[in-house]
Structure 1
Amino acid sequence: MSAVSVVTLAGVFVVVLGVSFLTRPRRSSTVDFYLAGQRVGVLTNSWAICGDYLSAASFLGVAAAVYVSGLDGAWYAVGFAAGFVPVLLLVAAPLRRFGEFSLADFLGRRLGSEGVRLSAVGVVQLIILCYLVPQSVGGGITWELLVGHGVLGLSPYATGVLVCTAVIAVVVSFGGMRGTTWNQAVQFLLLFGALIWLASAVTGDDFRYGAQVAELGDQPLANPEPTADGDWELVEEQNHIDGDQPAVFGQPGARYGELGQIALVVTLGLGTAGLPHVMNRCFTAPTGRAARTTTVWVLLFIGAFYAMAVMLGTSARGAIPEAAETRPWLQRLTVDGVLRVPEHALPVLGRIHGGETGLGLVAAAALIAAMSTVAGLLLASAATWGHDVYERHINPRATQRQAVRAGRMVTLLAAGAAAALAIALRPEAFTPAAPSLVATMVTWAFAVAGSALTPVLVLSIWWRGTTAAGGVAGMLTGGVLAVGMFSLGSVLDAPPAVGELLVTPTLVAAPAAALVTVLVSRRTAAPDDVEASWIRMHGTAADRASERLAALTIADRRRGRRPRAR
């Protein structure tokens, strides 16, 4: 381990733990622990959402996907960025106006059913687990490259998984939403700064995106694959649109056919609105307008981020073969100049342009990306279990302190489960049907979210007729279809078009979930308070003020008092 590696790791952990200590909640209330008192400003919240959303799959995975398959990898950037458009237009402001603790809490209260709440809790936990594991994998991959040593007899990869997960579990359980929010805001600024530095360094070295794509397109696209005798060899990729032609870096078809490209973007785009760790942040904004404004800022930041990630993945594909000819350390990571682990693309590019310091900076950013998202996921898990299960079903008479303690315990259990699965799914033992391991695994989380939660969430916000029975049926339909399809896609040797649709199933599962929700809802009764809920979500300020006044008047009459003058 070099001195730069030591300083990098120490710096990351000091910043993370220091921010958590300085911003820890002063009171043990559930509103402070889960929602930071609902007093998070627009810019801070936008930075925190970016820190939450721009995970290891974004920082390492998007560049890796572009590095491996060119234009087809760029669809990940398009889908991840486009996901905030439906959030902005359909979800953010109404969700905040309704004002609850979590997505499960919102659906349970909006549809007036504990069955809906518990069903949503189960879906949320599945999404969180699918999202947690690849973040832990990203932390292990980065530690393995940066440090190269394990502790207590563990491999470097397993050590990285455990250390990163343990640090963030402590941060979340100690700092709650307030500490996590400021941590994620600071972490996003550091992550964004590292990406800007690397993009500037690459551009300063005469990199031009168009020229690089044209140069890479002069020869067939080939990537390393393990052989039967344990060695590695370069294998040419076939074009999925025209199977008689080899794949080319700058043209579509290296990984996905036409249907597969659409299915991937739809899966990622719809999945964002159902991600619990992202959507729970709508509840931390002071008003619905603030939630919508925050989303606009998020769109601007992540658009710039993904543009740089695509550019750097392209730069790595051209720069690494040339650098491998003269750098022995890089030859150990490559096969004929092509990286065996695509997620190493950005850290290697950082070392090429900045030496050990550049490697340390990019690796620190990768660790920050993984840890920041893990923090948001653990807090979302704590909110659903601590508030929606413990407070409402296990111990309804729980004090605020007991509820917060239950949430903290859940963060530790969820972190342990994710770390165990990440260690079991070693990167070299898993060959995904897509360009990047972490990007592939995160796609599963988006598939479940976009298939099971997003259709029911959008219908609950925008259709008065949505019922509890319809919501449960829709969530079960979307969730079962999504999990079943991508599970089959991972094991079946299906034709390319079928396989692509199976591993990105939201194009099929989301419409099915919406249809089932509507059909069942039409045969069952809507909640009695649907009009009041509608006004809370969509009414003007005057409407909501009148609704509050009416509620106060009714309450006064029930107490036998004269109505309050307003």
Structure 2
Amino acid sequence: MMTSIVLLVVLLAAVGSVAVLIRPQRTSTFEFYLAGRRVGVVTNACAICGDYFSAASFLGVAAAVYASGLDGMWYATGFAAGFVPVVLFIAAPLRRFGEFSIPDFLGRRLESHGVRLASVAIVQLIILAYLVPQAVASGIIWELFIGRGLGGMSAYSTGVLVSTVAIMLMVSLGGMRGTTWTQAVQFLLLLAIFLWLAIIVVVSGFSYTDALRELSSRPLANPVDTGGGWRLEAVTNRLHPDSAAFFGEPGGQYSQLGQFALILSLVLGTAGLPHIMNRYFTSPTGTAARMTTVWVVGLAGLFYALAVLLGTAARSVIREVAADVPWVAELTTGGILRVPEYALLVLGQIFGGRAGLALIAVGALVAVLSTIAGLLLASAASWGHDIYERYINPRATQAQALWAGRAAVALVAAVSAVMALSVRPETLTGQFPSIVATMVTWAFVLAGSALTPVFILAIWWRRTTGPGAVAGMLTGAAAAVGMGAAGVLLGDSAYSEVLLTPTVFSAPCAAAVTVAVSLVTRPPQDTDRIWVRMHGTAADRRAVRIARLTVTGLGRRGGERG
């Protein structure tokens, strides 16, 4: 245990040191939130990957594949495909407009204080929904890796608190510049760990096609807590309710509509994630923002392909060794892990011993810390810049504005930790293929329902208005939360899987309400200039600036003559 704790301390110290050493010497809100808009394409792509490949990606995708076979791959598909609409429709116009955050962009684009305030509230809800599963994952990792709590706390609670406090301090000290470089380095470490585990598994004799054939030769079964103990229970095929599910066939977790609803939720949700979209404001140009996304799509494809392979390997290998290895048997029922998120951690220890477990645990914690950092920065930009500087204290000095952002970081981190401490993963594993991936999906649902439809309309439909955007955001958020709550209450019913990922219904509702209200309200007066700013070429934007300066100069001379 002492070796594990020392390794974690070294990791946290290294991450914190990078953030502090790379931070700008003369700190301003422009540097703290946007790193001076001097982040290069490859660096930003790696940082976005570090931000995006959270615990849901590192542990959750492999866990979902482990628990439900082919249906777990829909997570990998949706997560990877989420950047396609970003590169096609959002990245370049968003950067050309050039603000600090999503609320800042929407407020200025639609010339509406109501839009800014409504989007700040929704951004905070999305951030909390995304933060909580990261904290849950850190508790799970600590529980298996360290196995003991500190100061009388449980191992799970200790992991939640240690990770939250460590990353809160890193973000407060390093800002966007320090966080960008630490996230880029963290992503490269994640990818290296995935490649190491994949190579060592394949070299040991594992064959993906053979394993898939063998796993699909018998019905899929997973551990279920009956109240009096654990037992294996066959999984019903959601596509054919009268038959059993199999690992290599669809239907282990989702019906046809459920599969489509999940992928659509992940794809649309990506474009509305505050911590991801805020990164595009750090690119030097719109072209750089688009090229950054192209890099991200390629890196995401590689990362999730490895996650699927390793989730399959875990299902095959762990069952084989459970009967002969006591510590594996303690974690399983009938050779199947009771907590699917343990899949990669156990696989690492099987092939690399305690050092292998340590390496996977470090990678998982890196994924958690990196994503929490991005979320806290997005929260700080939303509260500190969009609320404090604009409404509470418009005459704030740079020092006051920075302290407001740092206070927001501490407050949001504390709230997410409290919420994570109320979650007990072992009580939820029977309901979901991966509790971490499922909880993160709820954040995607909220983002894809409330923000993305308005976001895309504001970028591509000139007639979008402030009242329309507010009505659309509130409709999308209410529909997502209401339908999601109904899905939880219904439990394991035919409708719950769609209600838990309701973006297929809530996003069109939000878009329709936005359009309907916009058609009966007045659009911003300066739409033509805004349009050139977002979609015009560099020459177009330069011509508009020259024209405005000319008109201003003529006006001044006319005033002097008068």
What TM-score comes out, normalization by structure 2 length?
0.98
**C-alpha distance in 2 between matches for 1:305 and 1:262:** 22
Other structure's SS at 2:523 match? coil
Q: Which residue of 1 aligns with 2:370?
A: 372
Q: Does 1:351 align with 2:346?
A: no
**C-alpha distance in 2 between matches for 1:525 and 1:233:** 62
Which residue of the other structure, out of 314, 319, 325, is the alignment partner of 1:327? 325
**C-alpha distance in 2 between matches for 1:552 and 1:153:** 67
Other structure's SS at 2:177 match? helix
Which residue of the other structure, out of 435, 452, 455, is the alignment partner of 2:453? 455
Other structure's SS at 1:27 match? coil
**C-alpha distance in 1 between matches for 2:356 and 2:548:** 60
**C-alpha distance in 2 between matches for 1:155 and 1:463:** 52
Superposed, 1:70-219 pairs within 5 Å as 70-219=69-218
Following TM superposition, by how much is the alpha carbon of 1:205 offset from its aligned partner in structure 2, in angstroms? 1.3
Other structure's SS at 2:232 match? strand
Superposed, 1:161-310 pairs within 5 Å as 161-229=160-228, 231-310=229-308
Q: Deviations over 1:3-42 (max 9, x none)?
A: 2x13431231122111012111212211100000000011
Other structure's SS at 2:251 match? coil
Q: Deviations over 1:394-435 (max 9, x none)?
A: 001111111111000100111000111001112123357431
**C-alpha distance in 2 between matches for 1:448 and 1:92:** 20
State the one-letter code of the partner of 1:372. Answer: S
**C-alpha distance in 1 between matches for 2:557 and 2:17:** 53
Structure 1 residues 255 and 120, CA, compared in 2 at 3 Å: closer, same or farther?
same
**C-alpha distance in 2 between matches for 1:420 and 1:405:** 23
**C-alpha distance in 1 between matches for 2:141 and 2:429:** 19
Q: Which residue of 2 aligns with 1:502?
A: 499
Other structure's SS at 1:332 match? helix
**C-alpha distance in 2 between matches for 1:406 and 1:280:** 18
Other structure's SS at 1:223 match? strand
Q: Does 1:553 align with 2:532?
A: no
Q: Which residue of 1 aligns with 2:529?
A: 532
Contact 1:556–1:562 (CA<8 Å) still a contact in 2?
no
Q: Which residue of 2 aligns with 1:66?
A: 65
State the one-letter code of the partner of 1:523. Answer: V
Structure 1 residues 360 and 558, CA, compared in 2 at 3 Å: closer, same or farther?
farther
Following TM superposition, by how much is the alpha carbon of 1:487 offset from its aligned partner in structure 2, in angstroms? 1.1
**C-alpha distance in 1 between matches for 2:391 and 2:342:** 46
Q: Which residue of 1 aligns with 2:511?
A: 514
Following TM superposition, by how much is the alpha carbon of 1:494 offset from its aligned partner in structure 2, in angstroms? 6.5
**C-alpha distance in 1 between matches for 2:557 and 2:406:** 42
Other structure's SS at 2:124 match? helix
**C-alpha distance in 1 between matches for 2:24 and 2:432:** 42
Q: Deviations over 1:513-553 (max 9, x none)?
A: 11111111111111001111100000111110011112323
**C-alpha distance in 1 between matches for 2:312 and 2:221:** 14
Following TM superposition, by how much is the alpha carbon of 1:60 offset from its aligned partner in structure 2, in angstroms? 0.4
Q: Deviations over 1:151-181 (max 9, x none)?
A: 1110000000000010000000110000100
Q: How many residues align?
A: 560
Q: Which residue of 1 aligns with 2:48?
A: 49
Q: Deviations over 1:409-466 (max 9, x none)?
A: 1001110001110011121233574310000100100000000000000000000000
Structure 1 residues 19 and 493, CA, compared in 2 at 3 Å: closer, same or farther?
closer
Other structure's SS at 2:23 match? coil
**C-alpha distance in 2 between matches for 1:555 and 1:416:** 50
Contact 1:127–1:449 (CA<8 Å) still a contact in 2?
yes
Contact 1:223–1:237 (CA<8 Å) still a contact in 2?
yes
Following TM superposition, by how much is the alpha carbon of 1:226 offset from its aligned partner in structure 2, in angstroms? 0.5
Following TM superposition, by how much is the alpha carbon of 1:70 offset from its aligned partner in structure 2, in angstroms? 0.3
State the one-letter code of the partner of 1:553. Answer: T
Structure 2 portions without partners, runs of 5+: none
**C-alpha distance in 1 between matches for 2:206 and 2:472:** 49
State the one-letter code of the partner of 1:200. Answer: I
**C-alpha distance in 2 between matches for 1:434 and 1:558:** 66
Which of 551-560 and 102-111 deviates more?
551-560
Which of 335-344 and 322-331 deviates more?
322-331
Other structure's SS at 1:359 match? helix
Q: Which residue of 1 aligns with 2:442?
A: 444
Q: Identity across aligned pairs (percent)?
A: 60
Contact 1:8–1:361 (CA<8 Å) still a contact in 2?
no
Which residue of the other structure, out of 463, 471, 475, is the alignment partner of 2:469? 471
State the one-letter code of the partner of 1:549. Answer: I
Q: Does 1:12 align with 2:11?
A: yes
**C-alpha distance in 2 between matches for 1:349 and 1:326:** 15
Which residue of the other structure, out of 382, 385, 392, is the alignment partner of 2:383? 385
Structure 1 portions without partners, runs of 5+: none
Q: Which residue of 2 aligns with 1:38?
A: 37
State the one-letter code of the partner of 1:64. Answer: A
Contact 2:224–2:430 (CA<8 Å) still a contact in 1?
no
Contact 1:432–1:490 (CA<8 Å) still a contact in 2?
no
**C-alpha distance in 1 between matches for 2:212 and 2:161:** 38
